[in-house]
Amino acid sequence: MGKFEIKDNFYLDGKPFRVISGSIHYFRVVPEYWRDRLEKLRAMGCNTVESYIPWNMHEPQKGEFCFKGMLDLVRFVRLAQELGLWVILRPSPYICAEWELGGLPAWLLREDNMRLRAYYEPFLRHVREYYDVLLPMITPLQITEGGPVILMQAENEYGYYGDDTRYMEAIRDMMLERGVTVPLITSDGPFEEALGCGAVEGAHPTGNFGSRTKERFGVLAPYAKSGPLMCAEFWVGWFDHWGNGGHMHGNPDSPQDLDDMLAMGHVNIYMFEGGTNFGFMNGSNYYDELTPDVTSYDYDALLTEAGDITPKYKAFQDVIGRYAPLPEVTFSTPVRRRAYGELAVSERVGLLESLDALCTPVTDTFPVCMEKCGQSYGYILYHSELRKEKNIERIRLWGANDRANIFVDKKPLAVLYDRELTGEYDVSAGRVKKAEDVNAPAGEGQERRHAPVTFEAGAPIDILVENMGRVNFGPLMERQRKGIEGCVQINGHMHYNWTMYPLPLDNIAALDFSGGYTPGLPAFYRFTLDVDEAADTFLELPGWGKGCVFLNGFNLGRFWEIGPQKRLYIPAPLLEQGKNEIVVFETEGKAGGKLVFCDEPDIG
């Protein structure tokens, strides 16, 4: 049994201890590569590894828990211990991390009036019930129990979000009551108000920042009082969002900032390796517009998304070597790469022809949002029939998030994204009306360019809405119900009687590729890859529009022609020797017809 204390410094078994840590999110890396990444962390000179714990992955449905495979947290921590690393765990209900809803489960939003990250009893009750399962799993991993965990985080960047001290005290007390004995920390931006709002008695404050170490530590010092200074997230890079124009890079002076941190205090490098937002788990930010994160979480980190050592790694290793011995580490996991060449599509089937195979529909007078249909991620399709309308001149989706493909009589009508969903789409103008056009007298405003859409009575209207990744930061987190929560307004009146088809796409094996196909509409495309030796590879989709890719049923993540990411990372352990099934779901009617497997990434 050991002891880790916070006094004027960090102390391990009574001796001063410098925390030199790096972030690896176990849930963003296939478990077969955990050892490789941890060995590289140790070889760089780090003595500690840090990870968030994503509540939404461990409790995907209320009361249903998962701690297997990529989510085997205990195995990850024990492996770190085996390799001589200490561990910092961040089991706060909210993690941010550019992760879907900041790690909070989407099912929280099924409840009307749900409030997040505040002293609100319905939210706190769910946290308690989660902690009743999680904490008994991780408290035996504490140093006081012979494990490697030396610190835990009570809440994450709360000072950026709110100032509810009662909530912070409740989270702290939940952890203590369930057996947490290692010191607690908070982490907030290096600003007085953030540090003040995020503080709670009994948790040591730390800062999150990526530059200007001496200045930032100067702001943190009064809050740390006589205790150690620590940057709990030293941002060495940044994340990419779709359409941002190119891969983001970090502070070029980060080695000097690291030197300053180690001279003055302690550090956790964020990220040591970023990993991948597999599936639909990327988060989004929202300031002036929605900016959903790409599938790669490369982060311009010290290791690439695929685990390659970068020049930045070498520079950091040189700095760390001035403060700590650099151990001799043999990398024991073989990691190979291969370009498997091109594949042509073998089969295809339309989405509209596959609805009954993929889901059980929900019917209602009104459109029902994704969460109320029992769904968290993916897509949802709204279907109805146009029996009283003679044509469509205008259409508006009220309370819709995030991106809607609208089809009338099985023909594309419009694609509305983000702020376009707050306005009325004018079919004649081919765009969402500008504010100045809405009340313009007849004949004024935008000149007509298109005729209204006409159809026979009973023609179908289908609206495919995609959850692009819930916002993971700020007040908009409480307004992240996806699909359509309000109504569909056609030519000024509300259209009723809808059938909802939830499409989490977690059952791709149910597809029947003999079901029919219409070019130009959303569809699934099947490929077969023969593998004689499994190796890491990167999937490119030339000529394809937007969608997601499944390998042997595993969701590799999203693609979008706008970039910056152009290739999806496929770790070798996801491939099987022999035949591998790849299914591409494409929503824009832009199917390139082939896939290309490369041995290098292309993230812009």
Point out the domain boundary residue: 503, 524, 557: 503
Q: Are residues 568 and 460 in the same domain?
A: no
Asked whether residue 293 is assigned to any structural domain, the reply reads: no
Asked whether residue 5 is assigned to any structural domain, the reply reads: no
The whole model's pTM is what? Answer: 0.96
Q: Are residues 393 and 313 in the same domain?
A: no
Domain residue limits at 170: 18-279+304-320
Q: Could you give the CA distance from residue 146 to residue 533 in angstroms, rounded to a whole number?
A: 40
Q: Are residues 141 and 218 in the same domain?
A: yes
Q: Could you give the CA distance from residue 407 to residue 390 in angstroms, rounded to a whole number?
A: 16
233 given a catalytic annotation: yes
256-304 pLDDT tens trace: 999 999 999 999 999 999 999 999 999 999 999 999 999 999 999 999 9
Q: Are residues 526 and 478 in the same domain?
A: no
Q: Are residues 480 and 536 in the same domain?
A: no
Q: CB within 8 A of 330, min separation 6: which ones? A: 39
Could you tell me the maximum CA-CA distance found in the chain, to the nearest angstrom? 82
DSSP letters for 142-181: BGGGTSSEEEEEEEESGGGT---HHHHHHHHHHHHHTT--
Asked whether residue 458 is assigned to any structural domain, the reply reads: yes
Task: Tell me the CATH number at 520.
Answer: 2.60.120.260
Q: Are residues 522 and 481 in the same domain?
A: no
Placement of tokens 């909802």 in the chain: 500
Q: CB within 8 A of 204, min separation 6: which ones? A: 6, 183, 184, 185, 186, 224, 227, 228, 230
Q: Could you give the CA distance from residue 223 to residue 238 in angstroms, rounded to a whole number?
A: 27
- The count of other CB atoms within 10 Å of the CB of residue 121 is 9
Asked whether residue 3 is assigned to any structural domain, the reply reads: no
pLDDT of the residue at 115: 98
Point out the domain boundary residue: 503, 520, 541: 503
Q: Which percentage of the chain shows pLDDT scores above 70?
A: 97
* pLDDT at residue 179 tops 50: yes
Q: Could you give the CA distance from residue 119 to residue 168 in angstroms, rounded to a whole number?
A: 8
Q: Are residues 546 and 565 in the same domain?
A: yes
What's at 178, amino acid-wise?
R
Mode of pairing for the β-strands spanning 86-90 and 149-156:
parallel
pLDDT band of residue 449 (cuts 50, 70, 90) is low
Q: CB within 8 A of 282, min separation 6: which ones? A: 98, 99, 100, 292, 293, 294, 295, 297, 469, 557, 558
Of the residues 59, 155, 233, 424, only one is catalytic, namely 233
Placement of tokens 């050991």 in the chain: 2
Q: Are residues 165 and 46 in the same domain?
A: yes
Q: How many domains does the chain have?
A: 3
Point out the domain boundary residue: 503, 522, 550: 503
Q: Are residues 439 and 578 in the same domain?
A: no
Asked whether residue 467 is assigned to any structural domain, the reply reads: yes
Asked whether residue 296 is assigned to any structural domain, the reply reads: no
pLDDT of the residue at 581: 98
Q: Are residues 464 and 576 in the same domain?
A: no
Q: Could you give the CA distance from residue 258 to residue 321 in angstroms, rounded to a whole number?
A: 12
* pLDDT at residue 450 tops 80: no
Q: Are residues 495 and 527 in the same domain?
A: no
302-349 pLDDT tens trace: 999 999 999 999 999 999 999 999 999 999 999 999 999 999 999 999
Asked whether residue 603 is assigned to any structural domain, the reply reads: no
Q: Are residues 489 and 553 in the same domain?
A: no
Of the residues 100, 155, 157, 540, only one is catalytic, namely 157
157 given a catalytic annotation: yes
Asked whether residue 327 is assigned to any structural domain, the reply reads: no
* pLDDT at residue 501 tops 90: yes
